[in-house]
Amino acid sequence: MPSERMPLIGMSLKIYFSPARTQQYLSAYVPISRSANALGITTFLIPDFLSVATSCAVLVTTEEQRYATGVGAQDCFWEDSGAYTGEISPAHLWELGVGYVEIGHAERRRIFRESDDDVAKKAAAAAKHGLIPVVCIGEVEPDESHIDFAVQYCVKQMDAAVRCVPVDSQVVFAYEPVWAIGQPNPAPTEYINAVCAGLRMYLDSHKRETSARIIYGGSAGPGLFTELDIDAVDGMFIGRFGHEPTNFEIMVHEIAKKIGKK
């Protein structure tokens, strides 16, 4: 598991890709992911649940790759086993080779009524098994004149997870303003930088200087990271813009250039 705030780029396929299409996608994705790792950038791919095992077989052939070029799951439960029909055990995900778990996406908070406490319990369960929780946070409405409101809203979402996940365990917070998800353009860069700077300050004040990373999602695509403050934003969390592998590759090189590795 990384012991410092290495740059990170992750991608969730939600359920846009079938297992067959995921396998096709991996043929283009894998070499890009490996080259990113050679540039000092960690990557993770979150396929649908039916493709997790086959993705691990391709991307995670060594224990180091579990985090360096990892595979994530789109959710997990807070119990390891038992009579919980339809749930996913974090212990079983670890056994498959999974390194990351996305938790608390805005869609799950809205559609499935997941609370901050639910998210915190899932994050703690994931961390207990060595998985890196990718906790999604983000305000529902934009208000560029009141950045502090967005920071406070997100801190409230983060706080339970920060308290439940051990301070020496890695955790990633994906800042995704709900109002920017699925839109043609991301949030304004000045807005992203200001909010993430506030979140970084909160994390540092809770002794998370190296164990917590912040990545931006919400219509994130090529060209965005070049405008972001790397002291506050550690990487990108992309969705549909990454469905075309060349876009993913472009973003890898943008991050590498920004951090001075290219």
User: Mind listing the pLDDT tens digit for each residue in 204-239?
Assistant: 999 999 999 999 999 999 999 999 999 999 999 999
Total-model pTM: 0.96
d(Cα 78, Cα 166) in Å, to the nearest integer? Answer: 15
The predicted-structure confidence for 148-164, as pLDDT tens digits, reads as follows 999 999 999 999 999 99
What percentage of residues in the chain have a pLDDT greater than 70?
Answer: 98
By annotation, the residues acting in catalysis are 105, 176
d(Cα 92, Cα 213) in Å, to the nearest integer? Answer: 25
In the prediction, which pLDDT does 2 show?
65
CATH of domain 8-259: 3.20.20.70
Tally helices (H) and strands (E) across the chain.
9, 8
For each of the chain's 262 residues, which pLDDT tens digit applies?
665 789 999 999 999 999 999 999 999 999 999 999 999 999 999 999 999 999 999 999 999 999 999 999 999 999 999 999 999 999 999 999 999 999 999 999 999 999 999 999 999 999 999 999 999 999 999 877 789 999 999 999 999 999 999 999 999 999 999 999 999 999 999 999 999 999 999 999 999 999 999 999 999 999 999 999 999 999 999 999 999 999 999 999 999 999 886 5
Strands 212-216 vs 171-175: parallel, antiparallel or unpaired:
parallel
User: Which residue pairs from 206-210 have beta carbons closer than 8 angstroms and sit at least 24 positions apart in sequence?
Assistant: 206/162, 206/167, 207/167, 208/162, 208/167, 208/171, 209/5, 210/3, 210/4, 210/5
> Mapping DSSP to helix (H, G, I), strand (E, B) and coil, where does residue 183 land?
coil
Which single residue is written with the structure tokens 């991307």? Answer: 59
Domain range list for the chain? 8-259
